[in-house]
A and B are shown apart, each in its own frame.
Chain A
């Protein structure tokens, strides 16, 4: 079945350092969404990418969707302690509304 893997599983960075998480799907995706889950909280939507090669930015966050629509990345510039949490990607394939979530990357920012 479809699998979505994320690397790394964990990342500890010093405040001010950059951070990147990568999402890789075993199948071509129709679209991909990114969510952030704070410790003890529920996932909160960040962004959706639909087009091949699409790049979107939200302040210090940059999201990319691969040309083949099988991978995506989230890059955070100059991390802050408020960036702490687990970042999940979630994708669907054509003809289905079933979202497969990635394994998540847990980010810890050291002040």
Chain B
């Protein structure tokens, strides 16, 4: 079946603008993660959704970052008043059930460049 999809694949924006990044997880996967990967670096956890439970937002770097997951499926990561240090690849991953012991399937990522 279809894997995790993300859009847009690339986003170039000006400093101070808001951006929205979208993630479509694999159908039936209840867990969804957002990560950030700066050039040549590891993955930084941002937020985790599991079913209807309250999300784990402990990785969001500032209050400019927020995420929603509507209907337990599609998720949107919003960055307000973007800064140059927000430039990175934003990766979304989904897993089948409880995230702790299941494979995470990653999307291709959105490369965000803030000028």
- B31, B58, B101, B107, most chain A CB atoms within 10 A: B101
B99 within 8 A of A: yes
Q: A44-B106, A97-B56 are in contact. List 14 more A-B contacts (CB 8 A).
A: A30-B100, A35-B104, A42-B109, A43-B104, A43-B106, A45-B103, A45-B104, A45-B105, A48-B103, A50-B101, A88-B42, A96-B100, A97-B48, A98-B45
For the complex of A and B, 6 pairs with smallest distance between CB atoms = A97-B99, A101-B43, A42-B106, A45-B103, A97-B100, A103-B42
Which B residues contact A (CB, under 8 angstroms)?
A: 31, 33, 35, 41-45, 48, 50, 56, 58-59, 91, 93, 98-101, 103-109
Which A residues contact B (CB, under 8 angstroms)?
A: 30-31, 33, 35, 41-45, 48, 50, 88, 90, 92, 96-104
